Amino acid sequence: MTQLLRLMSYGRKYWPQILISVVLMALAGAAQSTVPLLIQPVFDRVLVPNAPEGRIPLLPHPFLGHQFYLDSFVPFRGSAWTMIATALLLAFFTKGVCDYLGNYLVSYAGFASVTRLRNAVFDKVLKQGAEFFEAHSTGQLMSSIMNDVDKVQVATSQILADLLRQFFSAAFLLYVLFSNDPWLALICLVVVPAVMLPTMRMGRRIRRTSRSTQERQAEINQILQETLSGHMVVKAFTAENYESRRFREASHRLFKTNVRYVLQQGLSSPVIDFCAALTIVALLHYARLQIKGGAFTAGTFTSFLTALLMLLEPLKRLVGIYNIFQQALGASQKVFEYLDHQETVVDEASAPQLSGIQKHIVFENAGFHYPGSPDGFRFQGLNLEVKAGEVVALVGPSGGGKTTIANLVPRFYDPTEGSVQIDGRDVRSFSLASLRGQIGLVAQDTFLFNDTVANNIAYGRQGVAPGAIQAAAETALAHEFIMRLPEGYETVIGDRGVKLSGGQRQRLSIARALLKNAPILILDEATSHLDTESEMLVQKALANLMEHRTVIVIAHRLSTIRRADKIVVFEKGQIRETGTHEELISQGGIYQRLHELQFEDAGTVINQ
C-alpha cells in the first residue's frame, strides 16, 4: 500500500484531469448500465401483443422516492419501440464520448506522472557518487530507468483508465441487479469472495514473479551493453559463441519467468468463468420457478440476466487490473530503491562558491578506502601540497593510489579521514557545482558523445560562440583534422568517438578542457595509449592547456613529466619520494628504478 500511495503521489499535480476523467467514466458506466434497464420494456412492452400503454419506467423501483421515466431522457414522444431504440443509441453514443475523453485525460495524467518518476530516477542516479556506479552495472540501471518504469507507466495510464471504466460499469450494473431482486442479486454475488480471495493471493505471487522478470531483463541488458560496447574484444578473442551462449541462457531464464507470469495471470479468468457458469445455471433454475409462479416477468428476468452477464466482464477485467498493478508494484520496488539511496557526496547547507585558487591545494592527513571493499586498497596519513600555478606529477607502480588521490580533489570520492583543502578550506565546504566548475579533467579513457564535434567540445556549456569553439580546437591542435572531416565541426563522431583515432579523441578532450578554462587541471594518463606522432601532438596541446594553471599529472610515461615542478612517487598509497626529475634520478630510489626499467624495456624492444 505504501508503494502504491507513493506512486500515486507523482500524479498529485494532475488531479484536475483525474477528477474530470472520474466523472466522465462514471457517466460512461451509467450509460452502459442502461442497456439491461432498456431490455425489460423490450420484452414486456414491445414484444408482447396488447401491452399496456403509458409511460415506461426505467427503474424497477423508485430511487430515493423518485421514479425515472424513459420519455424524460428521449427528446421526443413516440411509440415504445422508437423511444427505446433512440435511448439505446443515445446510451452508446454517451458511453463512447465519455469513454474516449475520460481515457485521454487519465492516460495523459498517467503518462505525465510516470515521466516525472522517470526524470526523478534519472536525476537521482546522476547525483550519486562513484561508488554507486561501482555497485550497480550500467545494464541494471538502464533496465530500471526504462523497463521498470515502463511497467509502472502501463499501470498508471492505460490500466488506470480501464480501472475507472470497469469500476463504474460494475457499480451501476450492481445497482441494476439489486433494484431488480435484492435477494437474488445477493445470492449471485456470494461467489465473488470465493473468486477474489484466491485471486488476490495469486496477485502477490505475480508481484514476486514480476520482480524476477525485471531482474532477468536487467541481466539481458547488461550482457547486451557489454557485448555491443566491447564488440572488438569479443571478435579479437573469438568469443562470439561464448557471448551467444551467455545471451541465450539469460534469454531462457527470462522466458521461464515470463511463462510463470502467464500461468499465474491467466488462471483468474477461467476460475471466474466457471463460477459464473455455476451461478447462471442456478439462476435459470430459480427464474423458471419464479416465472411459473408469476413473481417474475420475462422482461424482468432478461434484464437481470443481461446485467449479470455484463457484470462478468468488469469483474474479470478488475481482477486482471489488480494483477497488472501487482506487476507494476514489483517493478517499482527497484525504482524506489534507487530513489531512496542516500547520496554520499552532497553539498553542505548554504555552501559557498569556489571562485578560483589563490594559494594551494593541500592533502592534510588524508585517508581513504573504497566503501564497497573495506579490506581492499586504502591509504592514510597523506600530506601533500600543490601550490597555485605549479605542475605536480604523481608517479609510481600501478595500484599505488595515484588516480584515487586525484579523484578526491573534485570530490568524486570524499576522504574517509583527514581533508583535502583549497586555500585553507575543506573542499567539502564548497558547493559541488562551483568546485567542479574550477577543475578541468583530461582522462586516459576519453569519453566522447555520439554528437557533433562542436557539441563535444562545448559539452556542458550553453550558447558557446562557434569562434570560441574553433579557438579552443586550434589551441588543442585539433582544428586541422576537424576541417578534414566530412562536415567539419558539425560531423557526428559516433558512439564514444568511434570515428576518430585515439590521438584525435584526446585532442578533442583537451579542447573541451581549454574551453572550460578552469584554473585547476587534472591529467590522468592523458597520453598513455597514443603512438609517437599522436603523443607529440597531444603533448604540444597539453603544454598549451597547462599554461597558467595548477596541474596534477598522473603519468606512467616518465618522459612526459620531466618538466614538472614537483614529482611525487607513490607506492601502496604512501609517498615514498618527492623532488624534481633530476633530484629523483640522482637519489637512486624508486623513481630512478622505474626510469631505468622504462627506457631499458624500450631499448630491448627496439633491439629485438
Q: Which three cell numbers stand for residue 109?
A: 495524467
Lowest-confidence segment of 109-123, 155-169, 268-282 by average pLDDT: 268-282
Q: Residue 17 pLDDT more than 80?
A: yes
- What number of CA atoms fall less than 13 Å from residue 568's CA on the CB side? 24
Average pLDDT over residues 300-305: 78
Query: Taking Cα atoms as reference points, which of 181, 163, 160, 169 lies closest to residue 40?
Result: 181
How much is the pLDDT for 601? 47
Give this prediction's pTM.
0.71
How much is the pLDDT for 527? 64
Model confidence pLDDT, tens digit, residues 157-185: 667 777 788 888 888 888 888 887 787 77
Judge whether 29 and 165 are in contact, CB under 8 Å: yes
Model confidence pLDDT, tens digit, residues 223-250: 877 777 666 667 666 777 878 888 888 8
pLDDT band at 483 (very low <50, low <70, confident <90, very high): very high
Is 225 buried (19+), middle (13-18) or exposed (0-12) by CB count in 10 A?
middle
Cβ atoms within 10 Å, residue 229: 13
Query: Taking Cα atoms as reference points, which of 450, 382, 449, 389 lies closest to residue 418?
Result: 382
- Domains of the chain with CATH codes: 2-340 (1.20.1560.10), 354-438+521-529+550-608 (3.40.50.300)
How much is the pLDDT for 607? 36
pLDDT band at 608 (very low <50, low <70, confident <90, very high): very low
Q: Where are the alpha helices (DSSP H) in 393-501?
A: 402-407, 432-437, 453-457, 466-475, 479-483
Cβ atoms within 10 Å, residue 241: 8
Mean of the per-residue pLDDT values of the chain: 79
Most confident range (mean pLDDT) of 143-157, 283-297, 418-432, 521-535 is: 418-432
Lowest-confidence segment of 36-40, 318-322, 510-514 by average pLDDT: 318-322
CA distances from 5 to 9, 38, 147, 329, 341 (A): 6, 40, 21, 11, 19
Judge whether 317 and 169 are in contact, CB under 8 Å: no
Cβ atoms within 10 Å, residue 504: 22
Question: Which residues, in sequence order, are bridge partners of residue 395?
Answer: 569
